[in-house]
Structure 1
Amino acid sequence: MRTGRSRGMRTAAVVLLAIAGLLVPGGPAAGAGTQEEDDEGGPAAPAEYSYLQKAIPGQPLPRHAYDTAAAEAAALPATGGSWQPVGPTNIGGRVVSLALDPHRADTLYAAAASGGVWRSADAGRTFAPAWPERGTQAMGALAAAPDGTLYAGTGEPNPGGGSVTYEGTGVYRSTDQGRSWRAVGLRDSGAVGAFAVDPRRPRRVLAAATGSLYNPGGDRGVYLSENAGGSWRRVLDVPNAFTGAVDVQRDPVHPDRVYAVLWDHRREPDKRTYGGTGSGVYRSDDGGAHWRRLGGGLPTADSGRIGLGIATSEPGRLYAMVGATDGTFGSFLTSADGGDTWTKLPDITALKESQSSYSWWFGKVWVDPADARHVHVAGVDLLTTKDGGTTWTEQDTVHADQHAMLWDPRTPGRVYLGNDGGVYRSDARGDGGWTKATYEPWTQLYTVAATPQDTDRISGGAQDNGSLRSWGGDRFNEYLGGDGLQNLIDPTDVNRVYACYQYGNCFRSTDGGATLTEYTDSTTADRRNWLTPVQFDPVDPSVLYYGGNRLNRSTDGGATWQPISPDLTGGPGHDAYPYGTITTVAAARDGHTVWAGTDDGRVWVTRDLGAHWTRVLSGQPWVTRIAVDPDDPATAYVSLSGYRSGSSQPHLLRTRDAGASWRDLSGNLPQAPVNDVVLSGRNTLYAATDQGVFVSSRDGWRRLGGGLPLVPVSDITYDQVHHRLVAATFGRGFYSLRTD
């Protein structure tokens, strides 16, 4: 990942990766550098943006809010044509778990964090869907039993990476290579971190129920099923209401010996707790019936997330990566006696840097089955030791942020890796030689830009995969690094494009992105949102608006900027995250009316191009978008985020009198965040939500089109010339639909 404008050494860049989900390959254009902290002076960890956007201030995310809204969305009548995927297929996105088919060579399953399950029959080169489109796309764990049965645990167990860590709907089982799935319990597990299948009795399965990140209780701890998920009983309880089991592993030599990792983790609107007294490693010597907490050098009082690796070639050899409660590196230890006693290994700088300031994002250690001293550790970079932890090397030829690794017993030396860039394969024991999958269509997108001048040109910002474009190379290719956010294409000149990475670090180009010039320093702001809004004037695209906590305006295509507002927010938040920012800007066609919305629930309008501002709404959830009627600058539509779970709080509003009065248009929309609203003509509204896209009609809202997976839609744009919508989804790439 790249962030900021100062120049720095690579070590600073690695430490900087505390800011988000994090991409290193590609990088920004020349002139962009790296820095350890964001421009507001403090680090901001993964997930801050999306969590704050979707949470109502002062309230936790309600239990099952996402599932409830999904059911409401599914019940709405559908209308319109069929959504068509338009890429990217070559970029990938976060992969959290991998499994091998025991009966079919070169057959691999991958779980995308918010993109479902995928199957490869060519050793990880290309993938095809292996999960229902209308099922939850949030995934946590995969496992394949010796008889070929697949288990999938839904809900992402890693809190961070730009997503809101969507919770799942329990455990699912497939007996036909992922063609169909059956729900088999633990629905209230929030997320599932791992499975451990008994190699001697394939219907005997242990599951690590991680629990809700936001709500106490539910299904937490280690559960055992003796009948392939037909029923479950908890065999390892948790000591605290927010403790969950994030990992469970069987000893490959002594399968009755099982290890589990418990972890205290909780997310509140103004606090993040990723460690505590309940965090620790447990062992069972009788297949899971009885457990004891391991000490002997492991922390027993208070720690962050712990990653555990078990050696095959040296029975009893274990490794543990211990995170500190603040997310930094704690210690790396090894045991030679199955975990009874532990020895602390050297605190290597590479270990500390790769864990950055969010060790809770990784928590994985993988031991080469053929060599107990050959160990890989998850981090920003993939770290490798060949001497049992005395020395380490960084592998930065793969995408940043490692989450899953799997050895193929059929092919000596073959290793699969899952990270924020997708799936990689090495035939050199994971010591380099990595090749990336060529077809993996599960990219997490924040924004989309399209142009009526060329329907093949699509651009957008991707979580940890930069700003992507469909031209100038492969379809798609990255032309600005970091976490890709706001992207624009000039509607009168396809070569004039704009792109940003996190916290409003923005660039302009006159040659389609081949060369980029940063303009952030020309703007005025004390705080800039993770997704800082940049918008064209609807009449003259040489006029642009940029929102920090003040609104900036440019009349020369973004070369120079002037502030045209005071601080439109209620001030900064209580922590390092730059809260109190403008989140959406919409200019009217009359040349002097401009609307702005903020993350602290305020809506403003100026009728004289910034000389005077009127606050017309306050006390709302996060304002995601404002759309202005092209024929009437006093008519505007405001979309709001924040989970509701049956609350009567609106999430789509309209005014016809410049904000003097408002009407709630939410109607029968699902009780879910609305991320974007687009007006087509005078009477048709399109709403992009966490549950898909909906269109207004005389008898209420209808679900728009078929073929769109049940995945959050972050952004939509409407091409009036060709009557098409293009959508950015957070987990399944871009989709397009013709509306006529």
Structure 2
Amino acid sequence: MSASTRKRRWLTICAITASAALVAIPAGAAPGGDSSPFGARTLAQLAAEREQSVGAMSPSLSAEDDDGNEADEIAEGAAQYAEARTAPGVVAPGAYGTAWASLTNLPGTGGSWRHLTDRPYNSDDPRYRDYASNSSGGAGYVTGRMAAMAADDDGYVYAGSAGGGVWRSRTGGGQWQPISDRLSSQSTGALALDGAGRLWLGTGEATTNADAYLGSGVYLLSDPHHGTFSARTRVGGDELESTTVHQLRFGGGKVWAATSAGVWSHSTRRLSGAWKLEFAPNPDYLPGGSKAGDESAAYKNIANDIAIDPKDPSKVVLAIGWRSGDDYNGFYTKVDGAWTRITSGFGDLPTDADGVGNVTFARSADGSRYYAIDQSPEQLNTNPDSALEGIFVSKSGSPTGPWTKFADYKGLAASGSALTDSGYMPGVQAWYNQFLTVDPSDPEHVYAGLEEVFETKDGGSNWSAVGPYWNFGFPCWSIDPAKQTGDCNQTTHPDQHGVAIGRHHGKTWVYVGNDGGVYKRPLTGSQDASGHATDWTSLNDGTMDTLQYYSVGVGKDPTYGGLSVTGGLQDNGQSILRSNDKVMGSNFGGDGGDTLTDPANGCNIAEEYVYLAVQVTQNCAVNDGSWITDPSKITSYDVAPADNATGEARFIAPLAADLKDSSTWIAGGRHVWVQTHGYAIRSGDQWKSVYDLGAGRTATAVASSGGKVYAAWCGPCNNQGFARGISVGNADGTGWHDITLPVDGTVPNRYLSGFAIDPKNADHVYLAVNGFSRHWTEGPGAGVGHVFESTDGGTTWKDISADLPDVPTNSAVVTPNGGLAVATDLGVVYRAPGRTKWQRVGSLPAVAVLQLKLSPDGSTLYAATHGRGIHTFKVRDCG
């Protein structure tokens, strides 16, 4: 299928947890995990008319795409994000918490951050119906990934984001306020309201995806209508620091936590005192255990959920196991006082290790039904269509069963799913996408979340895909709404993670959280003839900005004056905010990687999808969809260099323009690629390979000034035999050589994440180094330091980290006054010219900043945060 016939897929290419009160999961070491780099496969979703009209255009994605296994792609993206933060070894617990304390103790600069993206973001913006966008798909207003939801009967709704904290609405959704900004972790794993109306927060996102961050424990708000979380509201001690929390459940006077370090419990009445470890299948792999430093330790005690018998709270079933499979995977219950694996008498619900992966439980309010979703490791590893084992019910109301399967992926596919036209089936990412809830007033009315939202009103005899993946491919759809043959209603963004049921103004609503934010509909809503809901409402009104940017680009707006700001996002494409906009638009779909924007013309944009699948536009990709009938109306072009097709570029691969010549671009895969056509490039063939980094190596950062090019690489890039290096040469292909980095650890053997070249002298360059120092990292050559300086073109380096906190460092930029601003996983720091010490820039929450850019006139810093949108800061205020 040609690139012109596709829409960007939203099937999230992300997996394996990385970090944020500590990075503990070593990339590439998961037992049973897949590791083949197949590249980013798309969903072939467009109607036949597109293929007929523009089918001659060349594809931008690799030839392997159509044959790749989805699980392989997900695992690859996951491994690479985690590699940057863990290599060359395993990171010990407490690293992020210590770094946050150090950062907050730094002296601050003057000034404050301005929030730029605090407005609605319309994924269906009709201005951008380019062939590479998802406009008209039906998701509407979106924001960043939501991991958990809670709601009460007084109109209060709580949304826990992946990396932007917890938010509260007092109006049944919308008009959001952040309520966890004072915490050292802004990553949400679970939200739950107990019987007393108190709100419990488990930090650390547990979706085992690429950009998930670990947490700092469990917190409680006794008055969630008015209070905010703080360090003082933490329950227990530090037992749950540096874990993820998948679920919080209540029973027998205790709160139970399913975590990445086993199952723990705590009294709900006495909040002081330590958490009790109820069960860990492999305790030797826990912190302090004899195998805690093993590369597989982070996968050995994963707990997914807890089911407690409402009629007898002493009967508890634990769902335990790593999504890709391990010998310990299974269901456990207490027998004669000891946790014992269930091997029989469970009915249809599998008890073998290959059949039990990620599991979610839900029970009816009257206690008559228990439900479960089960993801199968065997399916994940062998079935490219779906990883879903099934949805099950225990009609005894007890979690001990017997369980009956009442839905599988084939049946759900026939219920109005939008995935079937793409060659996938529901549950293809069931290890990542799961929720389950039961109507409090009807034990047979169930909502299940996978990539899509499904509903049954009769206990599973009939299902409807009430929240289909998107509207593309349905008979009602047309890129021009005036030409729709039916009524394509709004749907939700794909990839479901959280669900809650609550009341507002006397009406009951279901709230779902997914990769695009929060949506609601009446609990018993309306459907069209295909079973699709007609009454979804997006609650992403711009007051809650949890957008997860990888990059940012800034240029002068050629039409309206002022500036045009764009950036690549996790699963939300490319946002564009022009100077006169009250609503941001989306001109590219799918995942958005690195970004280049012409400082002189902000409508000249190059956007990386993933794996160096680069597209370019010279009109901001403004398009009304008329390219369907007139191919000459296409306004963006696939220009991927060849490493995209061969799979030799990283998931988010580096892309840069020369500081002195915006028409010279550098891209990094196995090769260092250069093209000199600027934004007028129209084909991937116009790139030239100027240097081969070598088999098994791939670029992690590139930069160029006046034709002098720096390229950092890793290879191998995982924790087993990790190696890194720097190559230097000229854009014309001359003078290339590998720098001999000293073995004394001057530049650590960690992931090299960014260069900042002094615009006055191309031989004067700074290097940002990711990961943690040897104090935290159990790996060879981890060394110390995060920022290094060279004044001789990279031949020698000096550690200038000084009092910089020991935290993963992502990028840097030299300010016009000669200062140095550095983006870290916990915010931005600055070193003034002539100084050696660092200052904290403003007071962002504990959010990762992945990239910094300067405005065209150099007066303003633009920070791409991975969880709180784009923020700006006046350089003069840095001091």
TM bucket (normalised to shorter chain) is 0.7 to 0.9
In structure 2, relative to structure 1, the CA distance for the partners of 1:47 and 1:260 (3 Å cut) is: farther
Question: Mean alpha-carbon deviation: is it higher for 726-735 or for 276-285?
Answer: 276-285
Distance 1:690 1:539 in 2: 29
Do 1:26 and 1:480's aligned partners in 2 also have CA atoms closer than 8 Å?
no
Deviation of 1:642 after TM superposition, in Å, equals: 1.8
Return the match for 1:44 from 50, 64, 73.
73
Do 2:391 and 2:406's aligned partners in 1 also have CA atoms closer than 8 Å?
yes
Return the match for 2:495 from 401, 404, 407.
401
1:348 aligns to what? 409
1:217 aligns to what? none
Do 2:60 and 2:614's aligned partners in 1 also have CA atoms closer than 8 Å?
no
Unaligned segments of structure 2, at least 5 residues: 17-39, 121-141, 284-299, 381-386, 414-423, 469-490, 528-532, 624-634, 716-723, 742-747, 776-781
Which aligned pairs between 1:138-177 and structure 2 lie closer than 5 A? Answer: 138-160=187-209, 162-163=210-211, 165-177=212-224
2:480 aligns to what? none
Deviation of 1:283 after TM superposition, in Å, equals: 5.8
Match for 1:398: what amino acid?
Answer: T
Distance 1:710 1:233 in 2: 25
Deviation of 1:405 after TM superposition, in Å, equals: 0.9
Deviation of 1:720 after TM superposition, in Å, equals: 6.1
2:806 paired with 1:671:
yes
Task: Calculate the TM-score normalised by the size of structure 1.
Answer: 0.86
Distance 1:633 1:35 in 2: 35
Distance 2:203 2:754 in 1: 30
Do 1:725 and 1:737's aligned partners in 2 also have CA atoms closer than 8 Å?
yes
Distance 2:374 2:389 in 1: 8
Distance 1:82 1:499 in 2: 29
2:596 paired with 1:488:
yes
2:245 aligns to what? 192
Distance 1:144 1:679 in 2: 47
The two structures, once aligned, show a CA RMSD in angstroms of 3.4
1:575 aligns to what? none
2:792 paired with 1:731:
no
Do 2:150 and 2:192's aligned partners in 1 also have CA atoms closer than 8 Å?
yes
Do 1:96 and 1:404's aligned partners in 2 also have CA atoms closer than 8 Å?
yes
1:124 aligns to what? 173
Which aligned pairs between 1:198-217 and structure 2 lie closer than 5 A? Answer: 204-212=253-261
1:56 aligns to what? 87
Distance 1:154 1:473 in 2: 35
In structure 2, relative to structure 1, the CA distance for the partners of 1:440 and 1:27 (3 Å cut) is: farther
Do 2:656 and 2:667's aligned partners in 1 also have CA atoms closer than 8 Å?
yes
1:576 aligns to what? none
Match for 2:772: what amino acid?
Answer: Y
Return the match for 2:326 from 276, 281, 302.
276
2:600 paired with 1:479:
no
Deviation of 1:509 after TM superposition, in Å, equals: 1.0
Match for 2:735: what amino acid?
Answer: H
SS at match of 2:109: strand
Do 2:187 and 2:213's aligned partners in 1 also have CA atoms closer than 8 Å?
yes
2:305 paired with 1:247:
yes
2:575 aligns to what? 468
1:79 aligns to what? 109
Q: Which whole-Å deviations, capped at 9, do the CAs of 1:185-219 have from their partners, x for residues lacking one?
A: 25332122222345xx9xx341314135xxxxxxx
SS at match of 2:690: coil
In structure 2, relative to structure 1, the CA distance for the partners of 1:117 and 1:451 (3 Å cut) is: same
1:305 aligns to what? 358
1:594 aligns to what? 709
Q: Which whole-Å deviations, capped at 9, do the CAs of 1:270-309 have from their partners, x for residues lacking one?
A: xxx64334333456899xx987655423332302112223
Deviation of 1:13 after TM superposition, in Å, equals: 6.0
Distance 1:129 1:564 in 2: 47
2:660 paired with 1:564:
no
2:443 paired with 1:372:
yes
Deviation of 1:357 after TM superposition, in Å, equals: 4.5
Do 1:543 and 1:553's aligned partners in 2 also have CA atoms closer than 8 Å?
yes
Distance 1:88 1:37 in 2: 39
Deviation of 1:721 after TM superposition, in Å, equals: 2.0
Distance 1:116 1:25 in 2: 34
Deviation of 1:456 after TM superposition, in Å, equals: 4.2
Do 1:400 and 1:420's aligned partners in 2 also have CA atoms closer than 8 Å?
yes
Deviation of 1:448 after TM superposition, in Å, equals: 0.9
Do 2:768 and 2:812's aligned partners in 1 also have CA atoms closer than 8 Å?
yes
Distance 1:351 1:239 in 2: 33
Question: Mean alpha-carbon deviation: is it higher for 309-318 or for 328-337?
Answer: 309-318
2:750 aligns to what? 621
2:159 aligns to what? 110
Which aligned pairs between 1:314-353 and structure 2 lie closer than 5 A? Answer: 315-325=368-378, 327=380, 328-337=387-396, 338=398, 339-345=400-406, 347-349=408-410, 351=412, 353=424
Match for 1:54: what amino acid?
Answer: R
2:700 paired with 1:583:
yes
Distance 1:539 1:110 in 2: 45
Distance 1:545 1:528 in 2: 13
Query: Which has more strand, going by share of residues?
Result: 1
In structure 2, relative to structure 1, the CA distance for the partners of 1:622 and 1:374 (3 Å cut) is: same
In structure 2, relative to structure 1, the CA distance for the partners of 1:291 and 1:60 (3 Å cut) is: closer
Do 1:276 and 1:304's aligned partners in 2 also have CA atoms closer than 8 Å?
no
1:577 aligns to what? none
Do 1:373 and 1:387's aligned partners in 2 also have CA atoms closer than 8 Å?
yes
In structure 2, relative to structure 1, the CA distance for the partners of 1:98 and 1:582 (3 Å cut) is: same
In structure 2, relative to structure 1, the CA distance for the partners of 1:622 and 1:38 (3 Å cut) is: farther
Which aligned pairs between 1:576-725 and structure 2 lie closer than 5 A? Answer: 580-589=697-706, 592-600=707-715, 601-607=724-730, 609-616=732-739, 620-644=749-773, 646=775, 648-681=783-816, 683-697=818-832, 698-719=834-855, 721=857, 723-725=859-861
SS at match of 2:847: coil
Return the match for 2:554 from 450, 453, 463.
450
Do 1:194 and 1:246's aligned partners in 2 also have CA atoms closer than 8 Å?
yes
1:529 aligns to what? 650
Distance 2:151 2:260 in 1: 26
Distance 2:607 2:118 in 1: 17
In structure 2, relative to structure 1, the CA distance for the partners of 1:543 and 1:169 (3 Å cut) is: same
Query: Which has more helix, going by share of residues?
Result: 2
SS at match of 2:603: coil
Distance 2:774 2:204 in 1: 18
Match for 1:126: what amino acid?
Answer: Q
1:414 aligns to what? 509
Distance 2:407 2:190 in 1: 31
Do 1:488 and 1:498's aligned partners in 2 also have CA atoms closer than 8 Å?
yes
Question: Mean alpha-carbon deviation: is it higher for 331-340 or for 290-299?
Answer: 290-299
Distance 2:767 2:524 in 1: 53
Unaligned segments of structure 1, at least 5 residues: 213-219, 266-272, 573-579
Match for 2:495: what amino acid?
Answer: D
Distance 2:119 2:873 in 1: 18
In structure 2, relative to structure 1, the CA distance for the partners of 1:151 and 1:413 (3 Å cut) is: closer
In structure 2, relative to structure 1, the CA distance for the partners of 1:191 and 1:521 (3 Å cut) is: closer
Do 2:555 and 2:601's aligned partners in 1 also have CA atoms closer than 8 Å?
no
Report how many aligned residue pairs link the two structures.
699
Do 1:380 and 1:402's aligned partners in 2 also have CA atoms closer than 8 Å?
yes
Deviation of 1:460 after TM superposition, in Å, equals: 0.6
Match for 2:279: what amino acid?
Answer: D
1:230 aligns to what? 272
Match for 2:352: what amino acid?
Answer: A
